[in-house]
Structure 1
Amino acid sequence: MIAFTGMVKGLFFESPDSLYKVAIVERTEDEDIEGLPDDEVVITGYFGTLHQETAYRFSGELVTHPKYGLQFRVEDYALTEQIGAAGLVAYLSGEQFKGIGKKTAEAIVESLQGESLEILFKNPERLEGIPSFSKKKQAKFLEDLKIALGTDYTLIELSQIGFRPSEAQSLWRHYKEDAVPLAKENPYQLIYHIDGMTFAIVDRVAQQLDIMPDDERRLIGGWFEVTQAICYQSGHTLLPLDGVRQQVIRLLEKLQAFLIKEEDVNEALDTAVRQGVLVVEHGQITIPNLYYAEIGIFNHLEKIKKAPPCLDEKGKEAMRQSLLSVQEEIGIHYDDKQVSTILEALSHPFFLITGGPGTGKTTLIKGIVEAYAHYRGIELPSKNSMDYKECPIRLAAPTGRAAKRMQEAVGMPASTIHRMLGLTGQENQKDPMDGASEDIKADLLIIDEMSMVDVWLMNQVLKALPKGCQVILLGDQDQLPSVGPGQVFHNLLSYNVIRKERLTHIYRQKGQSTIVNLAHHIKDGVCPDDLFMKTSDHSFIPCRMDQVASVVAQTAALVKKRGYDLGDLQVLAPMYRTSAGIEALNQALQKELNPKTGKYQEVTIYKQNYRVGDKVIYLVNDPERNVYNGDIGKITGIVNGKYTESKQEEMILQFDQIEVNLTKADFKNIQLAYCCSIHKAQGSEFKVVILPLVGAFHRMLQRHLIYTGLTRAKEKLILIGEPDAFKEAIHTLAKDRQTLLAHLISLEWDPRDLGHSNLVIDDEEATGTEEKSSVDEKVVEGQEKKNTFLKVADEGKEKTSTSLKVADEGKEKTSTSLKVANEGKGKTSTSLKGKREQRQEAYTLQDRGKKNSTQPSPLDGETILTSELDKGKSHSKSSVVTGDGFVVEEESTGDQGNNLGTLTDAIVDAQIIDPMIGMGGISLSQFVEIDR
């Protein structure tokens, strides 16, 4: 790190959404610093206010921006002199002081009489007599000044104790002027409440504050960091105590070379539980926000348990007549099973529907909506109506694309769950008060793609429900679980109290379509006989891992030539890294589908070039722009900075009918989407899906992952890679996530035995008729009482969790051990395990003796606590190529794939691969010249 002193001469750029600034600084000392210009330096970083014509001492490093050249990235800064008169005038007449012009600013500076601005708080009368500066304006100015000065001094002081500018900005946003005292009191407490504030960051600061490596505050912070990391990356909401303990000690000793005693770690956990930083139940540990979310869900289920049916027999018959009446209007004839399901769903306050692809879930939603509207005399809004919020029926889904599919299929507006609840996606889930800002105004709520909903979001939905609202939840329990912790839909389906319907009959079977059949075989753990054959709508290209990127790119180009546009085609992969991962595939696909021509301007974001025409995915929820996490669009324009008001490049994106203008500060919210993760694609469908799998994806090769991936395809499915990788995925069933909700609804744990049993409603409360607020407030109050920023002088009065004494640990039950803990073989809580194991044994016999295996549930990318990628073995076989250079499958009565060919490098280089030949009657001669 280098440092220099200079005077701020002007600002080039100031982000409206953060404290990030770019400024020009004139050096004021003669010290020769290698690489640093002698006269003027462009600085970048996060600052409160940079006063012009004022000297600062800047510390940081020189970097070279790919477009703007040499810059000095500031890590620390401080004033070296009192701000001059010119600097103060420029400061006070700036945008942060509304209504203060240059003349008023000059008069204010003159009133200081050479003293600092702080004198105005002690002697506000100095402002009297300034022309056109009323008492009201003076009060507003002093209020704004207090905020502005607080920002400056807080950021500088946070920087001095070790926080980098971006970290200091995060603290200032969260705590304002309390940030410094809280950080000095206990820097580790910051990670309990601020998303993105990691143990490594606060541990660095703690060392500057001379906090010892075995200080209890540090040990508690370690417990929280490891517990939170494993929960969010494994999906479990409960973790075995022993496994987490070993990871905590490993983390503490790794970041600081100091031997940590296990007894100190145990004592720290006792304190953490008393303070409410962590929760321990039955030898399982979790973090408070997940615990309270699952308690909240369970409480609402208990309310529903004793609620009466919504329809009596007379009402059900009237609803049947309504359904019969609307069938002709909507052009759908429901069979007896579908009619029964619709009537049952509308007869109960809470109903679940699960089924695989082609089983008619979307068709049922249409029938439910139409029958309910006819029965109630409701006029349904058109699908593009903006006044749908007044309709007593609400449709929602976890993602924008899933909501749009629902809207098109049902014919009335649907929204994301986030938008329905007034959520932005930026909520701090650790804060019990930061949640849904809108209640749901509806008599009937229908949510699709429920497997994607995590515990926090589900609790937000239930808290926002009005009294008497019917809820119908639909999804496919065999798809990937939510990216966030929990397994809500799976847990709800196992709860006998809740009425449900499992759909098994396949309706969507056009012509000789094989994709749906593939999906149902794979769901059952059976490797289909025709998986590696070329059929009317799916094909397979065997190739090595190092060939995947090239083969995928060539295949995508051929699909595009067949008339499919980029929106119709989607490449899906399970991991970001490796030569066959998402990042490498996006590079290859961009080069093939949208090569650099020099015709259009490019922009570079995090070393990735973006061009007009690129397919991109939005990474955050942005309600103001009506674009949401997972929405896929296209770059339609890149505007040079010299033509924009911000003097920075701007980007124009097209998402369906929505055009979005992005400033440079928002560029981080997109990434290339020629290939995206299977998790990101969940809830979406595409006409053509290309799915590559190789052995190097080992720990991600799981049944629900390949099942979710291939069920995204509506018309064509192209599989690429190593046959054995596909087989491994089909035969590998992920372990169920361990959750508090599963233990409670399976009755394995008595709610009255919980350490926080006072937050769980009892049977007397579970009437289903009381106002929702009484139950919600119990949970929120319980969480607020555990606020770690309160002094823990009253610890004795707080209810503690299950004893953590090591001697008693043997008596406590443990759940299935996590991969990261490498501990024993704990007891699993899934209530369906017995039937599932019997079914798997049958599949094992059917599938030529290959055994099913299990792996921990994967997430979207790699886990924090796994340092290296699990290395898979190549499963490729020898090449079998015809005379014209195309790979063919050999006829075999044995296991399909054993005699599959693999592409030679020469074939890949020759770019003559065409997996669509043979699909739907397409012949080779239609597209390739053949010698005759």
Structure 2
Amino acid sequence: MTTDIAVPKSAQSLEPFVAAGVFEPIDIHAAGSLARLITGLEPEIILGAALAMRAVREGHVCVLVDDAYADIDLSDNAKKLPWPTPEKWRSVLTASPAVRVVEPSETVVVAPGEALVPLVFDGVRIYLDRYYDYELKLADFLLDRSGSERINVDESEIEKTLDEIYGKLTGEIDYQREAVRRALTGRLTVIAGGPGTGKTFTINRLLKASRILDGGRPRAIALAAPTGKAAARMTEALSDGEIKATTLHRLLNITPQHPARFNADNPLPFDLVVVDEASMVQLALMTQLFTALSPNASVVLVGDPSQLASVEAGAVLGDIVTATTPDPDSGSVNVALADCTVTLKRNHRFSAESGIAELSQLVDAGETEAVLSCLRAGHDDVVWIDPSNPDDTARVEQETIAAATQVVNAARNGNAEEALEKSIEHNVVCATRYGKFGVHYWTDKIQNELLNTILDCGADRPWYAGRPIMITHNDYLNNLFNGDTGLVVSQSNSAQGLDELKVIFAQDGELRRFNSSQLGEHTTWWASTIHKTQGSEFDRVVVCLPEPPARVLARELLYTGITRARAHVSVVASEAALRMAIETPALRASGLVGHLRQSE
């Protein structure tokens, strides 16, 4: 945490919090600006503003007044900071000119002409005004779409088409069929499920049913995902070659210079919009998507709610699924939303004896002792590596270097297809960038070994055949986006009679070649963070966790890492790290579940 932050005079009350490392400069700047705009603000309001900024930066939508510092890694000294009591905070918030006070059940955004204030307080949560607006708008969209069907729908024809695809109904419920039926008749469908439960297969069947119902004519359908990598994988996985998936930013035509081209006044020209990897979509982007849908369009959200949420604010898919289950205190549940949600549970990818399937299910359920037993059980496809055992770690390092060597050899031979295929057979996914068994540790370990053995270049020459490249910022000029991965491959230049290095990306079934000078910001990805690998799968995966009390350790992080593997997973983690991860669900502060449940 940063402690050498200049605190403006208007926010001097935050000095002890800054000294304790609670805030970053952007939090202090925002709170100080508010204090200068509205003079005489109480310290509790300035603190609330800084915490609301910090919350969004940490992935939350709001701050819970009763639990404001729950996710702050506080030392003993920091716990003695001048935190206001919840009672004092509520009293000051409700009387402040910088705060709009609303009821928790309020479902109306600010009316035209109503004065905007920077903070919103609903008696339980403090929001930045913009994020409260996002949350309320999205709740309204979800409630409206879950409560009504599409117009001009011939349900008898739909059932006939489903019979043609799936066969006649039997006594057992076919949840994939039900998901397709819902998507064809309703304006909102949520398809939730873990890896191998048939989410992609269901989308394929939905596209086939749509084509049959439209008499073979191309229907206005959009396929989208939150990242370029996820969109490319969606396109590859679907058998419908006529429709290519795109990113949500490209679908809505959002650029750094301009807001979304498509909105309520200029809706998307599609009858059906399918969003894959929906767990990765943040609150703001999901709200923009729903704003841009035409009234009679059907939207289908597909994803695994147990995976990591977006790095930005909100955990929308998880909140929607949670709202379809009974509230533990009141028992309330949104029945209409539950009717729109189909959870696929039957696993079609792994056998009944699969250790990966068992391990991921136990982690998801938070069964710590059962997870440890599974790791010790000796499954063929699951290995537990003790990071304190040098023999065990040396073995997994050598296996990883051997896999990297195969990539380099194929790339040096100019075989781009083989090299790209080898590059996704084995991957290291890490919880952290730095530290032992972090991204930089593995990248240096692999690259140095390659440089010392098979590569004919020094460490000062970063471009070599076989180097895997990951784009780290959207590059609109080259149509390369954050998370896209490629490979440096030796290519013959017949004109010059020489071999040259090209960076090759596989996109839309084609190989795109670039000179290194054409690329924007990028990095070497012999290893990557678990966050960066969402939407990807590999044959063999090495999952690495840091030692506690690392704040990054969470159940969803471990689950996401394990479920990147198709055939084999090695977990490099101490028992203490595993226990902390399994027993720490990554909760995001939000009011969306409450808004959705209260509608009933």
- TM-score (ref. length: structure 1): 0.48
Question: How far off its partner does 1:744 sit?
Answer: 1.0
Shift in Å, 1:716 = 2.0
* 1:238 aligned onto 2:62: yes
- Counterpart contact for 1:231–1:286, Cα < 8 Å: no
Output the amino acid matched with 1:240: L
Number of aligned residue pairs:
508
Work out the CA distance in 2 between the residues paired with 1:218 and 1:660.
54
Q: Which moves more between the two structures, 490-499 or 530-539?
A: 530-539
Contact 1:349 1:470 in 2 (8 A): yes
Q: Which residue of 2 aligns with 1:502?
A: 343
Say which SS state the counterpart of residue 566 (structure 2) adopts. Answer: strand
Partner of 2:505: 655
Give distance in 2, aligned partners of 1:269 and 1:660: 59
- Alpha-carbon deviation of 1:378? 3.9
Matches within 5 A, 1:346-745: 346-379=184-217, 391-411=219-239, 412=241, 413-424=244-255, 426=256, 434-437=259-262, 439-493=267-321, 494-495=323-324, 496=334, 497-498=336-337, 499-509=340-350, 513-526=354-367, 527-528=370-371, 529-544=373-388, 552-560=396-404, 565-593=422-450, 599-600=456-457, 611=464, 613-636=466-489, 653-656=503-506, 657-661=511-515, 663=517, 669-696=521-548, 698-730=550-582, 732-734=583-585, 736-745=587-596
Alignment-mate amino acid for residue 439 of structure 2: I
Distance 2:457 2:222 in 1: 43
> 1:178-197: per-residue Cα shift (whole Å, max 9, x none)?
xxxxx9x99xxxxxxxxx98
- Relative to 1, partners in 2 of residues 1:419 and 1:199: Cα closer, same or farther, differing over 3 Å? same
Q: Are 1:223 and 1:245, in contact at CA under 8 Å, matched by a contact in 2?
A: no
Counterpart of 2:183, as a letter, is A
For 2:118, the equivalent position in structure 1 comes to: 277
Q: How does 1:821-860 map to 2 (within 5 A)?
A: none
C-alpha distance in 2 between matches for 1:303 and 1:481: 24
User: Map of 1:800-811 to 2, 5 A cutoff?
Assistant: none
Shift of 1:626: 1.7
Alpha-carbon distance, 1:540 to partner? 2.8
Q: Distance in 2 between matches of 1:722 and 1:547?
A: 15
Superimposed CA distance per residue, residues 579-630 of structure 1 (whole angstroms, 9 cap, x where no aligned partner): 22222222212223455988458779xxxx6655322321222233221111
Q: 1:83-94 counterparts in 2 under 5 A?
A: none
> Aligned pair in 2 of structure 1 residues 612, 291: CA closer, same or farther (>3 Å)?
farther
Aligned-CA RMSD value: 4.5
Q: Aligned-pair distance for 1:379? A: 4.1
Is 2:161 the partner of 1:316? Answer: no
Does structure 2 retain, via aligned residues, the 8 Å contact 1:319–1:375? Answer: yes
Distance of aligned partners of 1:239 and 1:226 in 2 relative to their CA distance in 1, 3 Å threshold: closer
2 CA distance for matches of 1:553 and 1:360? 33
Q: Which amino acid aligns with 1:575?
A: T
- C-alpha distance in structure 2 between counterparts of 1:246 and 1:592, whole Å: 43
C-alpha separation in 1, matches of 2:158 and 2:152? 9
Aligned-partner residue type, residue 319 of structure 1: I
Shift of 1:534: 3.9
In structure 2, what is the Cα distance between the partners aligned to 1:598 and 1:205? 54
- Report the CA distance shift for 1:555/1:534 in structure 2 as closer, same or farther (over 3 A): farther
The answer to whether the 8 Å contact 2:252/2:289 transfers is: yes
Q: Against the structure 1 CA distance between its residues 260 and 487, is the aligned structure 2 distance closer, same or farther, given a 3 Å change threshold? A: closer
Q: Helix, strand or coil: the match of 1:624?
A: coil
The offset of 1:718, in angstroms, is: 1.9
* Contact 1:634–1:653 (CA under 8 A) maintained in structure 2: yes
- Cα deviation per residue 1:215-260 (whole Å; 9 max; x = unaligned)? 7599976643332112321x32121336659999x9xxx9xxxx99
Q: Distance in 1 between matches of 2:396 and 2:543?
A: 9
| Cα distance per residue 1:478-525 (max 9 Å; x no partner) | 111221111211222224222111111122235954322322232223
Distance 1:203 1:336, change over 3 A: closer
Opposite residue 148 of structure 2, the aligned amino acid is A
Q: Which residue of 2 aligns with 1:930?
A: none
Whether the 8 Å CA contact 2:547–2:574 is kept in 1: the answer is yes
Change in Cα spacing, 1:619 to 1:515, as seen in structure 2 (3 Å) is same
| Displacement of 1:675 | 1.4
Matches within 5 A, 1:58-457: 198=26, 223-233=48-58, 235-241=59-65, 266=92, 270-273=96-99, 276-309=117-150, 315-325=154-164, 336-379=174-217, 391-411=219-239, 412=241, 413-424=244-255, 426=256, 434-437=259-262, 439-457=267-285
CA contact (8 A) 1:199 1:221 kept: no
Deviation digits for residues 836-863 of structure 1, max 9, x if unmatched?
A: xxxxxxxxxxxxxxxxxxxxxxxxxxxx
CA distance in 1, matches of 2:539, 2:31: 50
Displacement after TM superposition at 1:680 (Å): 1.1
Contact kept, 8 Å, 2:434 with 2:440, in 1: the verdict is yes
Per-residue deviation, 1:686: 1.1
Distance 1:566 1:247 in 2: 37
The residue matched to 1:627 in structure 2 has which SS? coil
In 1, distance between residues paired with 2:31 and 2:271? 50
Cα distance, 1:550 vs structure 2: 5.2
Distance 1:375 1:546, change over 3 A: same
User: Taking structure 1 as reference, are residues 530 and 218 closer, same or farther at Cα in structure 2, changes over 3 Å only?
Assistant: closer
Q: Are residues 437 and 612 of structure 1, via their aligned partners in 2, closer, same or farther at CA, if it must alter by over 3 Å?
A: farther
8 Å CA contact 1:436, 1:460 repeated in 2: no
Q: Is the partner of 1:617 in helix, strand or coil?
A: strand
Larger radius of gyration: 1
- Say whether the 8 Å CA contact 1:227–1:286 is kept in structure 2: yes
* Letter paired with 1:227: A
Taking the aligned partners of 1:480 and 1:277, their CA distance within structure 2 comes to: 29
1:512–1:536 CA contact under 8 A, matched in 2: no
Alpha-carbon separation, structure 2, partners of 1:378 and 1:311: 19
CA distance in 1, matches of 2:535, 2:69: 37
Counterpart secondary structure, 2:142: helix
The one-letter code of the counterpart of 1:679 is H
Q: Displacement, 1:703?
A: 2.1
Residue 374 of structure 1 deviates from its aligned partner by 0.9
Check conservation: 1:574, 1:697, Cα contact below 8 A: no
Give the whole-Å Cα distance in 1 for the aligned partners of 2:254 and 2:159.
37
CA contact (8 A) 1:300 1:462 kept: yes
Q: Which structure 1 residue ranges, 5 or more long, are not aligned?
A: 1-182, 187-195, 329-333, 381-390, 428-432, 639-650, 751-932
SS at match of 1:477: coil
CA distance in 2, matches of 1:674, 1:347: 45
Q: In 2, are the aligned partners of 1:537 and 1:717 still within 8 Å (CA)?
A: yes
* CA-CA distance at 1:348 after TM superposition: 1.3
CA distance in 1, matches of 2:390, 2:434: 13
Change (3 A) 1:562 1:632: closer
**In the aligned structure 2, how far is the partner of 1:203 from the partner of 1:231?**
14
Q: How does 1:781-792 map to 2 (within 5 A)?
A: none
For 1:289, give the aligned amino acid: R
Q: Structure 1 residues 217 and 627 mapped into 2: Cα distance closer, same or farther (>3 Å)?
A: farther
